[in-house]
Amino acid sequence: MQTRILIVDDELSMRDFLAILLEREGYQTERAASAESALNMLDSAGYDLIISDVSMPGLDGLALLQKVKMISPEIAVLLVTAFSTSEQAVEAMKLGAYDYIAKPFKVEEIKVLVKNALDKRNLERENVRLKKEIIERYSFGGLIGKSKKMREIYTLIEKLSASMASVLISGDSGTGKELVAKAIHYNSSRKDKPFVAINCGAIPETLMESELFGHKKGSFTGAIADRPGIFEQANGGTLFLDEIGEVPLQLQAKLLRVLQEREFRRVGSAQDVKIDVRVISASNRDLEEQVKEGSFREDLFYRLNVVQLRMPPLRERLEDIPLLVEHFYKKFVQPPYSPEIITGEALKALESYHFPGNVRELENLVERCLALGDKKIDKDSLPEQVTDFSRAMPCGERLEIPPDGLNLEAYLDGIEKRFLLQALEKSGGVKKKAAEILGLSFRSFRYRLAKFGMDEE
């Protein structure tokens, strides 16, 4: 595709001169006699570069530059002027100009500037394309990650989407269990049917049966009309029962009947209602332990747990943090984006943190940092619980429990993973040598790498 350049100058001779010069170089050019005309042309055409005079009647070149960067920040802009000042040049660069050149200029000089501006724009466009490709490659239904554990999750979601089996998603709060349920539904043959989600832990026990199965008018105080429950609302589609472990024992038998018979009765009704619903459930509690304790029916557990999918906590996939930070950054910030989204120091602090709230906590952290008005996340904008935790990580310093406490298992995992990564870095990636640095057998070193999803050939 031919490169398109828009020339903006109120002098006809300058427009013609630049157009002839650039067309000889193989570029496609268009011309505008004013900034206002140029802005109108932006609506109907895509340009790779704009070359604009600064001093023009009406909107000047700096005002044009500012508006172009608001409308199409990816377009490179080169400003030309006969009255150059250092203050004006600084202002132009601050507003996003590629460069600023004073008249009279040499033909070779303008050729080089145009080529360099287009090369830079093409490089930026390629970077954007590659980043988008990475996000698409390492995402699935709103889930983001390129770690080994997340790639295994994507593979399992694809398989489960082709099945009608009940799925039990386990994992800590904030790991993205509902996103997994949605990904399974929207990649299945039921994607055009309803996806209904309900948090069983948020429903009062006295109302839960009515919420699940609906009720008939007059069946209890306040039942002023017939009301369908969520099973009927999800008919033909998928029902996601979050925090399934919160369902009281007396209601678990009715839930089991629905899963076995594909029918139920509304509260106060004598009629059975037939349904076709795929049930996906989730819990951050240990349902097997609840079964042993007698607070969860064993037969219901096995009916729900046809296939179990475990969502890893963020501390087990720290390599996904840069992708997640970029994803959340673009969720909360309007373009143009800062060239540096997060400083290396801030990223290191996040990768050293234990994240008890998992991905949801990371999203909140990113939103908090950006709410302070900065377009870049640095260590100073991170809350104390993150920076205090990361400061306690290096060997040799006095370790202290942070004010809000800590998850000891996650903390120790973070230290272990950090030393594994450092050993690999020092050994140039040679695992046998890295094991020797840490005083481990090669087998033990490989086992520890596998624990964090790092043992990839």
In this predicted structure, the answer to whether residue 335 has a pLDDT above a threshold of 80 is: no
Instruction: Encode pLDDT of 341-352 as tens digits.
Output: 999 889 988 988
Return the number of other C-beta atoms located less than 10 Å from residue 81's C-beta.
Answer: 20
Mean pLDDT of 234-254: 94
> Which segments of the chain belong to CATH 3.40.50.300?
141-312
For residues 98 and 110, the answer to whether their CB atoms sit within 8 Å is: no
Return the number of other C-beta atoms located less than 10 Å from residue 331's C-beta.
Answer: 11
> With bands split at pLDDT 50, 70 and 90, how would you rate the model's confidence at 160?
very high
> With bands split at pLDDT 50, 70 and 90, how would you rate the model's confidence at 396?
very low
C-alpha separations of 243 from 178, 202, 206, 264 in Å:
11, 9, 17, 21
> Which segments of the chain belong to CATH 1.10.8.60?
315-451
Which CATH number is 315-451 given? 1.10.8.60
Q: Please tell me the predicted confidence (pLDDT) of residue 133.
A: 62
| CATH class, 4-135 region | alpha beta
What's the full length of the chain, in residues?
A: 457
Least confident of 36-40, 56-60, 390-394, 398-402: 390-394
For residues 443 and 449, the answer to whether their CB atoms sit within 8 Å is: no
Burial annotation 142-175 (CB, 10 A radius, 16+ → b, else e): ebbbbbbbbbebbebbeebbeeeebbbbbbbebb
Highest mean pLDDT among 77-81, 223-227, 359-363, 449-453: 359-363
Q: Please tell me the predicted confidence (pLDDT) of residue 390.
A: 55
In this predicted structure, the answer to whether residue 453 has a pLDDT above a threshold of 90 is: no
Q: Widest CA span of the chain, in angstroms? A: 92
Mean pLDDT of 131-149: 73
Mean pLDDT of 244-271: 90
In this predicted structure, the answer to whether residue 258 has a pLDDT above a threshold of 60 is: yes
Q: Please tell me the predicted confidence (pLDDT) of residue 157.
A: 93
Candidates 388, 377, 383; CA nearest to 328 is 377
Candidates 261, 155, 162, 240; CA nearest to 198 is 240
* Pairwise CA distance, residues 6 & 64, whole Å: 12
Q: Burial level of 350, CB count in 10 A (0-12/13-18/19+)?
A: buried
C-alpha separations of 39 from 76, 169, 321 in Å:
14, 52, 40
Helix crossing, 321-332 with 344-352: angle to 10°? 120
> Which DSSP symbol is given to 313?
P
> With bands split at pLDDT 50, 70 and 90, how would you rate the model's confidence at 398?
very low
For residues 230 and 198, the answer to whether their CB atoms sit within 8 Å is: yes
- The residue behind tokens 């009765």 is 265
Instruction: Calculate what percentage of the chain has a pLDDT beyond 70.
Output: 91
Q: Please tell me the predicted confidence (pLDDT) of residue 131.
A: 65
In this predicted structure, the answer to whether residue 240 has a pLDDT above a threshold of 80 is: yes
> Higher pLDDT residue, 338 or 395?
338
Highest mean pLDDT among 162-171, 388-397, 428-437: 162-171
Q: Please tell me the predicted confidence (pLDDT) of residue 29.
A: 93
Q: Please tell me the predicted confidence (pLDDT) of residue 132.
A: 62
Instruction: Encode pLDDT of 374-386 as tens digits.
Output: 778 988 888 887 8
Tell me the sheet residues that pair with 32. Answer: 8
> Higher pLDDT residue, 117 or 82?
117
Q: How many CA atoms lie within 13 A of 393 on its CB side?
A: 24
Topology of the domain covering 141-312: Rossmann fold (3.40.50)
* Pairwise CA distance, residues 406 & 403, whole Å: 9
In 307-429, DSSP assigns E strands to: 307-310
What sections of 204-307 are H helices per DSSP? 205-213, 230-233, 249-261, 287-293, 298-304
Instruction: Calculate what percentage of the chain has a pLDDT beyond 90.
Output: 41
Candidates 132, 63, 127; CA nearest to 91 is 63
Tell me the sheet residues that pair with 145. Answer: none
Q: Please tell me the predicted confidence (pLDDT) of residue 397.
A: 44
Mean pLDDT of 314-337: 88
> With bands split at pLDDT 50, 70 and 90, how would you rate the model's confidence at 300?
very high
> With bands split at pLDDT 50, 70 and 90, how would you rate the model's confidence at 391?
low
